[in-house]
């Protein structure tokens, strides 16, 4: 096994498996034990079909993107929810596959290079093995992980990765004996035979990496020390070269300044195969990576869209779901400043992340797993008769209002932005949007012992009353008894708007204190709705509080 495939990743939530000749991105709803198994399959040299079989083995339908090199060149498969881009290194536009253009999600360009009618190969010529594959979780937000890190082989948590297939590798069961890239007219020398010889990809990484980690995945005939000659290093696509290609020839319109900053700052060597040009770059990259980490490590979460990666020219299929609530931006792969050794550490195991279960444990329960078909099933459009009427049923005063939702295969409704089911954790992809009766959005747990399931608006106070409201706004009154006269008769309302939970102080005499998770308590303005999330604590008085919790 020779060296070759390597990549970079931006820390995120989904699982990405790297091997020298395959990269697999799969949604984070996949149980950890299945990720482990998938890793073993991919790492064991499985071909595309075997990997797909493994991805579809669990009951839940996963969102994934796969790129595998094999005897037929690069093969890819994408399900909606992942975008795959391939830069063939010929200066042409990258091939883009978001999984929604093909019934089975296959991108034919590489499976059958030069096939007639293949839009990705306009000249019909044999397509050289691609230079660069990028897998992006569609809708991923920038969690502040503005540092990209190198990886050769292993499993990382990432929403955005780049990978270059191995060259000259002997893939599955020795079937691949021919370097397919050779002889293509116009192909740069660097793309050809020099890469058939074993090269090491580790020296540039291992210099800064921890030897233990670097050796952890050398269960295959890994690069021998004598592979680590300067020339080989130069030919191997190093992290710095990655940054270069990305910036200058690959999707510049989707690359922000921020990303660019983290590429190597120097000029790109015209020929990456030139050892003289390559080696200094490696050094420079190591330094740049360290510097970048100082830059990014202290920055903390940054969800500002202005510096997002895909800043402009976003294709319409690219759903920038900035509205999605950012996850806890614990960034396991971003080393803290002052640990320069970490950036280059290849990762085999999923990085420790205190907000998530370790690999050998079940995935964390989804936010609100429960069967919530009950109370919401009351009024459906089918129940209605009479003249056509655009009002949803609730407008007429009965049942839960309708919301737009995407359904998992078990028909659990989810917010349109969701990437995995809030009830069962299944990955959602791009299911069609439907109107459904809104499920309960959580439960209010009061310090007084009351528990209120959020299937309608809730009116909280010492003597709550609602006057002349339409049925869809009819609140459930929650009377706070015997807790003092400093609670107003109508103190606050918990209002449900679509999938959102809002708290509205109704002009109470003594105000309402809202503590969002991880935030300082805040006295909210009267009559100004305040969006709250699970974990929020709302205080009417010091003694009377309630919290919004997910349904058990």
Partner 1 sequence: MIVVTWGAVSDTGRVRARNEDAVLAQDPVFVVADGMGGYRGGATASRIAVETFREILDLPRVRAADIPPQLRAAHDAIRRQAGIEPASASMGTTAVGLTLVHEDGAAYWLAFNVGDSRLYRLHEGVLSQISVDHSYVQELVHAGFLAPDEARLHPERSVITRALGVADGSDADFWVFPAEAGERFLLCSDGLSGELDDVDIAAALTAGEGPQETAARLVTAANEAGGRDNISVIVVDVAGTPDAELDAPTADRPRSAPGSGAGSTPDPTSGSSPDPVPEIT
Please report, as ranges, the residues that interact with partner 1 according to CB under 8 A. 378-379, 383, 385-387, 389, 393, 395-399, 450, 452, 455-456, 459, 462-471, 474-479, 481-489, 508-511, 523, 541-542
Which parts of 108-250 fold into alpha helices (H)? 108-111, 203-206, 211-216, 230-235, 239-248
Q: What does the buried/exposed string (b/e) look like for 380-392 if buried means 16 or more CB atoms within 10 Å of the residue's CB?
A: beeeeeeeeeeeb
Nearest residue (CB) to partner 1, 376 versus 551:
376
3-state secondary structure 45-85: CCCHHHHHHHHCCCCCCCCEEEEEEECCEEEEEECCCEEEE
Whole-number minimum distance, CB 398 to partner 1, in Å?
4
CA gap 505, 497 in Å, rounded: 16
The neighbour count for residue 2, using CB atoms within 10 Å, is 22
Tell me which DSSP letter residue 219 carries: T
Helix pair angle (32-43, 48-55), 10° resolution: 170
User: In the block, which residue shows the tokens 């399900």?
Assistant: 79
Whole-number minimum distance, CB 535 to partner 1, in Å?
23
Whole-number minimum distance, CB 387 to partner 1, in Å?
5
Q: What does the buried/exposed string (b/e) look like for 227-248 if buried means 16 or more CB atoms within 10 Å of the residue's CB?
A: bbeebbbbbbbbbbbbbbbbbe
Whole-number minimum distance, CB 545 to partner 1, in Å?
14
CA gap 180, 262 in Å, rounded: 32
Whole-number minimum distance, CB 530 to partner 1, in Å?
18
Nearest residue (CB) to partner 1, 144 versus 475:
475
Whole-number minimum distance, CB 511 to partner 1, in Å?
7
Nearest residue (CB) to partner 1, 76 versus 457:
457
User: In the block, which residue shows the tokens 């655009």?
Assistant: 390
Whole-number minimum distance, CB 120 to partner 1, in Å?
55
Nearest residue (CB) to partner 1, 230 versus 397:
397
What beta strand segments (E) does 93-131 contain?
95-97
Nearest residue (CB) to partner 1, 207 versus 476:
476
Q: What is the CA angle 260-292-206, rounded to 5?
A: 105
Nearest residue (CB) to partner 1, 44 versus 470:
470
CB 92 within 8 A of CB 75: no
Cα–Cα distance list, 410 to 59, 79, 151, 425, 550 (Å): 11, 19, 36, 11, 19
Whole-number minimum distance, CB 529 to partner 1, in Å?
20
Whole-number minimum distance, CB 458 to partner 1, in Å?
10
Nearest residue (CB) to partner 1, 114 versus 471:
471
Nearest residue (CB) to partner 1, 221 versus 521:
521
Nearest residue (CB) to partner 1, 46 versus 459:
459
Whole-number minimum distance, CB 54 to partner 1, in Å?
47
> Would the CA dihedral through 136, 75, 163, 275 be positive or negative?
negative
Nearest residue (CB) to partner 1, 257 versus 391:
391
């Amino acid at each position: 096994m020779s060296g070759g495939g390597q990549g970079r990743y931006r820390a995120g939530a989904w699982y990405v498996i790297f091997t020298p000749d395959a990269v697999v991105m799969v949604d984070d709803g996949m149980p950890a034990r299945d990720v482990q198994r998938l890793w073993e399959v991919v790492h064991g040299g499985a071909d595309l079909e075997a990997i797909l079989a493994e991805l579809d083995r669990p009951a839940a339908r996963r969102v994934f993107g796969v790129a595998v090199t094999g005897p037929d060149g690069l093969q890819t498969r994408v399900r909606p929810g992942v975008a795959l881009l391939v830069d063939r290194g010929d200066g042409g536009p990258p091939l883009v596959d978001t999984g929604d253009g093909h019934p089975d999600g296959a991108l034919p360009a590489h499976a059958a290079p030069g096939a007639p009618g293949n839009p990705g190969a306009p000249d019909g010529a044999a397509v050289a093995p691609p230079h660069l594959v990028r897998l992006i979780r569609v809708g991923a937000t920038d969690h502040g992980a503005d540092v990209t890190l190198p990886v050769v082989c292993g499993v990382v948590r990432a929403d955005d990765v780049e990978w270059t297939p191995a060259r000259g590798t002997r893939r599955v069961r020795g079937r691949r004996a021919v370097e397919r890239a050779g002889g293509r007219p116009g192909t740069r020398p660097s793309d050809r035979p020099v890469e058939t010889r074993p090269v090491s990809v580790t020296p540039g990484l291992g210099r800064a990496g921890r030897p233990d980690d670097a050796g952890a995945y050398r269960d295959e005939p890994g690069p021998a020390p004598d592979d680590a000659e300067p020339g080989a290093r130069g030919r191997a696509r190093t992290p710095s070269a990655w940054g270069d290609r990305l910036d200058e020839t690959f999707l510049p319109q989707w690359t922000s300044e921020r990303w660019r900053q983290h590429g190597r700052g120097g000029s790109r060597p015209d020929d990456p195969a030139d050892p003289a040009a390559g080696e200094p770059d490696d050094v420079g990259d190591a330094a740049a990576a360290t510097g970048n980490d100082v830059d990014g490590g202290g920055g903390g979460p940054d969800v500002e869209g202005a510096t997002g990666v895909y800043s402009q020219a976003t294709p319409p299929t690219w759903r920038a779901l900035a509205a999605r609530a950012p996850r806890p931006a614990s960034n396991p792969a971003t080393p803290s400043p002052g640990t320069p050794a970490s950036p280059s550490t290849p990762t085999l195991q999923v990085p420790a992340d205190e907000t998530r279960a370790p690999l050998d444990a079940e995935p964390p329960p989804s936010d609100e797993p429960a069967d919530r078909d009950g109370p919401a099933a009351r009024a459906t459009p089918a129940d209605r008769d009479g003249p056509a009427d655009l009002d949803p049923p609730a407008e007429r005063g009965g049942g839960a209002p309708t919301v737009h939702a995407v359904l998992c295969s078990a028909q659990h409704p989810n917010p349109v932005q969701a990437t995995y089911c809030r009830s069962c954790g299944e990955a959602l992809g791009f299911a069609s949007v439907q109107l459904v009766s809104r499920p309960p959005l959580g439960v209010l747990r009061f310090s007084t012992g009351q528990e209120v399931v959020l299937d309608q608006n809730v009116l909280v106070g010492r003597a709550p009353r609602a006057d002349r409201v339409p049925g869809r706004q009819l609140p459930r009154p929650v009377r706070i008894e015997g807790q003092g006269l400093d609670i107003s008769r109508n103190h606050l309302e918990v209002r449900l708007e679509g999938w959102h939970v809002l708290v509205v102080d109704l002009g109470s005499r003594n105000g309402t204190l809202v503590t969002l998770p991880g935030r300082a308590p805040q006295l909210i303005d009267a009559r100004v709705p305040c969006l709250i999330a699970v974990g929020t604590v709302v205080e009417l008085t010091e003694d009377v509080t309630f919290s919004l919790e997910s349904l058990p």
